[in-house]
Amino acid sequence: MNAIQTLQQYIDESRRIVFFGGAGVSTESGIKDFRGVDGLYHLKYKYNPETILSRSFFLSRPDEFFEFYQDKIVQPTLNAAPNIAHKTLAKLEAMGKLTAVVTQNIDGLHQMAGSKNVLELHGSIHRNYCMKCGQKYDLEPVKNADGIPKCQCGGTIRPEVVLYEEPLDETVITKTVQAISEADLLIVGGTSLTVYPAAGFLDFYNGNRLVVINLDNTSYDSKAALTINGKIGEVLGQITL
């Protein structure tokens, strides 16, 4: 049996699939990842993405933060549509075979593809709020802002995105741990598994069918029942549902 046939068999036999993904899930939608070959780390900036997208940088240089955020995070997402990986996962959920998509992505493409139970470990660019009065906003005022987006009250509107140096949401953590610990099949894809605590949640998996689908090798390959070095959209696109 080849790798795709094995994955097909795993999916056919499973009823509580959890997918755990990262930026690589959206590269086939045209959004750059951080650490892949074409990722943002390989572009030449004054600072690397992790520095700019940190709490301390955001608080001390909000103008530079929003310049990068609007240019490199928000704008590419506005033109992006879900790819076959997002769509296959949404279909698996609709079929009653997949219980949760856990994602480190902040682009909202899983929901756009129709997924309902999406656990966004790092928040979403689509939710924003005023740091002074708490007023909630969608993406509009942020994407249209010239410089720092401002609320009517004068406060800064910030994305509900977990910056480096900030803790993850407790409710999302609890749901993630529960979904992974109850999963019969855990498919990990499009993530370098280098961002913590997110990557550490994989350790809550109790089953023996861990599948890793990634272009580069990851530190979890040795624990996987099946490792596929390939593009996640191309791989999941070969699954018959």
Catalytically annotated residues = 122
Among 7, 14, 18, 26, which residue interacts with ligand NAD (rule: CB under 6 A)?
26
Q: Near Zn ion by CB under 5 A, which window of 31-39, 48-56, 135-143, 193-201?
A: 135-143
Q: How many of the chain's residues bind Zn ion (CB under 5 A)?
A: 7
- Kindly state whether residue 110 participates in binding ligand NAD, applying the rule CB under 6 A: no
Among 14, 88, 99, 104, which residue interacts with ligand NAD (rule: CB under 6 A)?
104
- Kindly state whether residue 159 participates in binding ligand NAD, applying the rule CB under 6 A: no
| Cα–Cα distance for residue pair 124/236, rounded to 1 Å | 24
In SS3 terms, 194-219 reads as CCCCHHHHHHHCCCCCEEEECCCCCC
- Kindly state whether residue 211 participates in binding ligand NAD, applying the rule CB under 6 A: no
155, interface contact from ligand NAD, Zn ion, none, CB < 5-8 Å by kind: Zn ion
At closest approach, how far in Å is the CB of 113 from Zn ion? 32
Q: How many of the chain's residues bind ligand NAD (CB under 6 A)?
A: 29
Among 8, 70, 117, 135, which residue interacts with Zn ion (rule: CB under 5 A)?
135
Q: How many CB atoms lie within 10 A of CB 144?
A: 9
- Kindly state whether residue 99 participates in binding ligand NAD, applying the rule CB under 6 A: no
- Kindly state whether residue 181 participates in binding Zn ion, applying the rule CB under 5 A: no
Point out which residues bind ligand NAD (CB under 6 A): 22-24, 26-28, 31, 33-36, 39, 104-107, 122, 189-192, 194-195, 213-216, 231-232
